Amino acid sequence: MPETPPVLMVFTGGTISMKVVPGRGAVPAQSGREILDQVPQLASLARITCEDFDRLPGPHWTPERMLALAHDLDRSLKNGPFVGAVVTHGTDTLEETAYLLELVLETDKPVVITGAMRTADDPEWDGPGNLLAAVRAVLAPHDPPGGVRVVIGGAEHEAGAVVKSHTSALNAFTSTRDTRRRRERIQTARIEPRVDLVTATVGGDARFLEHAVATGARGIVVAAFGAGNVPPAMLPGVRAAAAAGIPVVVSSRCGRGPTEARYGYDGGGMSLRASGAIFAGELPAHKARIKLMVLLGSGATAATIRDSFERPGP
């Protein structure tokens, strides 16, 4: 009988590790080994090596910790016999970690992120099924090979396209696009966390943009209306930030579709472009923020940052 392939499984916390404590609610409670002991079927698929990287709820993650996870995965996958890795993660920020890993990981081995929407003491705990599906995804052939994918709730998603679109459904994750994209890699040993996100709202003005500049932001992402438009009173804030050398990236509040310089009125995309703004394409604002953090951390020039966001996809 052929030997099962070796797979690294990195546990970082999240709902998949949680139990409900009376009076406190759901909190991380289980180690990776304790979780694995409840999924004996994994042994028929792969030889699992368990690593406890952390025991964090999703909202406790930081960009710096995400980058540390990427470096840990690269070391383990380079030095170990593994064919790939599964990473468990809290679902609230899973999509951001998945995208950061997609950008910065050096390995060509597949990495699959998963988690759970129900705690381990819930009769509907979805952790075991998601772990089994994630290991199968690591072992399945993909063209191109490698890359980062999210497998949860019976579906597989690209790291750049996946979003959590429901607060509590077992199939809470969806994709913002239907077509695959070529993986983009950005080499960096650090990340720039001082990137702020400002959301356009009806009647909004430049106050939050001005505050971001005044408090040391190194980059700003604007979650704009529609295809990339803001109230006219926000435009001076975009113009001032760009003039100060702070990259301003325009994403959309909409769930699908690209941003572009289409409208010519005050605050429309053409006036944002003339003010020096960069358009994020199909990236939602929270992922555009992750990408800008990575690019700034890598020391990318203004031209490189613009090209990275705006060059046409394959």
The amino acid that residue 219 corresponds to is G
Please enumerate in sequence order all residues whose Cβ is within 8 A of that of 65, keeping only pairs 6 or more positions apart, or say none: 54, 56
Three-state secondary-structure class, residue 155: strand
Residue with tokens 């020039």: 301
Q: Where are the domains of the chain?
A: 6-175, 195-309
Does 2.60.40.10 match the CATH number of domain 6-175? no
**How far is C-alpha 211 from the geometric centre of its chain's CA atoms?**
26
Neighbour tally for 93: CB within 10 Å: 20
CATH topology of domain 195-309: Rossmann fold (3.40.50)
The amino acid that residue 135 corresponds to is V
pLDDT at 42: 97
Could you give the residue numbers annotated as active site? Answer: 15
**Residue 72: phi, psi to the nearest 5?**
-65, -45
pLDDT at 143: 72
Q: Which pTM was predicted? A: 0.95
Neighbour tally for 102: CB within 10 Å: 26
pLDDT at 80: 94
How are beta strands 25-28 and 18-21 bridged, if at all?
antiparallel
pLDDT at 178: 75
Q: What CA–CA distance (Å, rounded) separates 144 from 152?
A: 21
The reply to whether 195-309 shares the fold of 6-175 is yes
User: pLDDT by residue for the chain (314 residues), tens digit each?
Assistant: 578 999 999 999 999 999 999 999 999 999 999 999 999 999 999 999 999 999 999 999 999 999 999 999 999 999 999 999 999 999 999 999 999 999 999 999 999 999 999 999 999 999 999 999 999 999 998 777 789 999 999 999 999 999 999 999 999 999 998 767 788 999 999 999 999 999 999 999 999 999 999 999 999 999 999 999 999 999 999 999 999 999 999 999 998 999 999 999 999 999 999 999 999 999 999 999 999 999 999 999 999 999 999 987 65
Please enumerate in sequence order all residues whose Cβ is within 8 A of that of 204, keeping only pairs 6 or more positions apart, or say none: 230, 231, 233, 234
Structural contact between residues 86 and 45, judged by C-beta atoms closer than 8 angstroms: no
Structural contact between residues 150 and 159, judged by C-beta atoms closer than 8 angstroms: yes
Closest CA to 144 of 186, 179, 183: 183
Please enumerate in sequence order all residues whose Cβ is within 8 A of that of 138, keeping only pairs 6 or more positions apart, or say none: 7, 46, 83, 84, 85, 86, 110, 111, 112
